[in-house]
């Protein structure tokens, strides 16, 4: 569709939120909660973390007071929306025993109408990746479909990059290319931020028009592109994604896996923080009288020993093999399975790894070993 561009000030943005609520959406956005930015229902723009900034480094996350007045800074410092679309704990079926019969009832989640305000390009790419797994992979996951089907994405292009971001090299940011209904560029010229709003869907355009948004000055578009380009250029971490499959394929036995696995705690933080890790386990939870049982779906992690267990033992016995499975899946096997990369370059695994294991650093070592150290991982925009 042809994209239209609008300008919004703070009250205009506020009006958009009201529009969404009026249309029956539960509006969610990043909120400072438990010393981190997490997705929570938004009442008003004041709920957004204006004046707060995240300090990110390997194995380090701090939420601190900043001086800026922008509402949507903090690239890479925001929780992913995976926990909302693909909940960490979900009852799937309830099975009751009645005599020698079994009565099975499906716990169908209610169809949700969720609007995500402030979602970044890496996370839009992550949603597209999850769509491939949970919607377009033969069967459709019922829980994910229910949460996903009516989702509205009011995204924000990143005009700054976090120190752990590498979306530019993964081709997923910092500018959102698709998947949004409205994409904002936050502009800080005066005292209060202003917004360039770009409709990405007819619904997005409609919402903007209903908020009586005015057309944006043409130079705003150029400035927005320049700003995201600058953010891309500022990224110091990268993964050569074009070479990723070949590198992973040729380094299966490389000693680096073992060296790094010695630091790895197999804690699974990376898989929890990762916006595309989708693995789950199904557990049986019985009532005390054993009359009723529930099949409960829980997030699982390929870092656990039981993940690959078959009669006789676990396939991936060593932390090395589990670490290798995770990295290989993210950077290479996902391509084979779903045609897209499983890593969107959000950098969360780097931040949340207690041992400060950095996937980009690991890849660089393997790439050098594979002897295919091609420089560019695509242009900064990942075209």
Q: Which residues of this protein are in contact with other proteins, per CB under 8 A? A: 92-93, 95, 97, 100-102, 104, 106, 108, 131, 133-135, 137-142, 148-153, 179-181, 200-201, 203-204, 252, 278-284, 286, 290, 293, 295, 300, 302, 306-313, 315-318, 320-321, 324-325, 329, 333, 336-337
Task: Give the per-residue SS3 of 199-232.
Answer: ECCHHHHHHHHHCCCEECCHHHHHHHHHHHHHHH
* Nearer of residues 39 and 299 to other proteins, judged by Cβ: 299
Q: In angstroms, what is the minimal distance from the CB of 234 to other proteins? A: 28
The label of the residue with tokens 């790895």 reads 264
- Tokens (6 digits) for 239: 């993964």
* Nearer of residues 238 and 316 to other proteins, judged by Cβ: 316
- Residues with Cβ within 8 Å of 24's Cβ and at least 6 positions away in sequence, in order, are 113
Q: In angstroms, what is the minimal distance from the CB of 271 to other proteins? A: 10
* Nearer of residues 32 and 140 to other proteins, judged by Cβ: 140
* Nearer of residues 311 and 383 to other proteins, judged by Cβ: 311
- CA distance linking residue 90 with residue 257, whole number of Å: 34
* Nearer of residues 85 and 196 to other proteins, judged by Cβ: 85
Q: In angstroms, what is the minimal distance from the CB of 128 to other proteins? A: 9
Q: In angstroms, what is the minimal distance from the CB of 354 to other proteins? A: 23
Q: In angstroms, what is the minimal distance from the CB of 376 to other proteins? A: 26
Q: In angstroms, what is the minimal distance from the CB of 269 to other proteins? A: 17
* Nearer of residues 252 and 375 to other proteins, judged by Cβ: 252
Buried b (16+ CB within 10 A) or exposed e, 172-199: bbbbbbebbbbbbbbbeeeeebbbbbbb
- CA distance linking residue 254 with residue 306, whole number of Å: 25
Q: In angstroms, what is the minimal distance from the CB of 199 to other proteins? A: 11
- CA distance linking residue 62 with residue 37, whole number of Å: 10
Q: Which residues pair with 179 in a beta bridge?
A: none
* Nearer of residues 36 and 203 to other proteins, judged by Cβ: 203
CB 169 within 8 A of CB 240: yes
Q: Is the dihedral of CA 266, 252, 123, 135 positive or negative?
A: negative
DSSP state of 54: E
At 270, give phi and psi (nearest 5°).
-60, -40
């Amino acid at each position: 569709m042809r994209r239209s561009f609008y300008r919004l000030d703070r009250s205009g943005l506020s009006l958009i939120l009201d529009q969404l609520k009026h249309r029956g959406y539960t509006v969610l956005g990043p909120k400072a909660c438990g010393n981190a930015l997490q997705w929570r229902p938004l009442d008003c723009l004041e709920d957004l973390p204006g004046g707060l900034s995240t300090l990110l480094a390997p194995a380090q996350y701090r939420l601190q007071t900043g001086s800026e007045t922008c509402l949507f800074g903090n690239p890479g410092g925001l929780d992913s929306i995976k926990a909302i679309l693909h909940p960490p704990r979900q009852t799937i079926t309830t099975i009751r025993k009645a005599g020698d019969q079994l009565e099975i009832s499906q716990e169908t989640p209610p169809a949700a109408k969720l609007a995500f305000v402030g979602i970044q390009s890496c996370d839009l790419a992550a949603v597209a990746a999850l769509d491939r797994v949970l919607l377009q992979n033969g069967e459709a996951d019922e829980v994910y479909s229910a949460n996903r089907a009516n989702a509205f994405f009011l995204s924000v292009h990143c005009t700054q990059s976090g120190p752990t971001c590498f979306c530019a090299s993964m081709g997923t940011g910092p500018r959102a290319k698709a998947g949004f209904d409205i994409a904002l560029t936050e502009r800080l010229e005066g005292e209060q931020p202003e917004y360039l709003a770009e409709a990405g869907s007819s619904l997005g355009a409609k919402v903007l028009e209903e908020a009586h948004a005015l057309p944006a000055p043409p130079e705003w578009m150029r400035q927005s592109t320049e700003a995201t380009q600058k953010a891309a250029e500022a990224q110091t971490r990268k993964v050569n994604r074009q070479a990723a499959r070949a590198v992973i394929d040729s380094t299966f036995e490389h000693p680096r896996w073992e060296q790094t696995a010695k630091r790895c705690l197999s804690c699974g933080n990376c898989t929890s923080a990762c916006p595309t890790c989708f693995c789950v386990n199904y557990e049986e939870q019985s009532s005390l009288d054993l009359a009723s049982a529930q099949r409960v779906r829980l997030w699982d992690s390929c870092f656990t020993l039981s993940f690959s267990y078959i009669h006789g033992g676990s396939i991936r016995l060593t932390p090395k093999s589990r670490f290798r499975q995770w990295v290989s899946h993210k950077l290479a096997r996902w391509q084979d399975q779903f045609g897209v990369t499983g890593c969107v370059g959000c950098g969360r695994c780097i931040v949340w790894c207690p041992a400060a294991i950095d996937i980009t650093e690991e890849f660089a070592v393997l790439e050098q070993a594979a002897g295919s150290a091609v420089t560019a991982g695509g242009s900064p925009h990942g075209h």
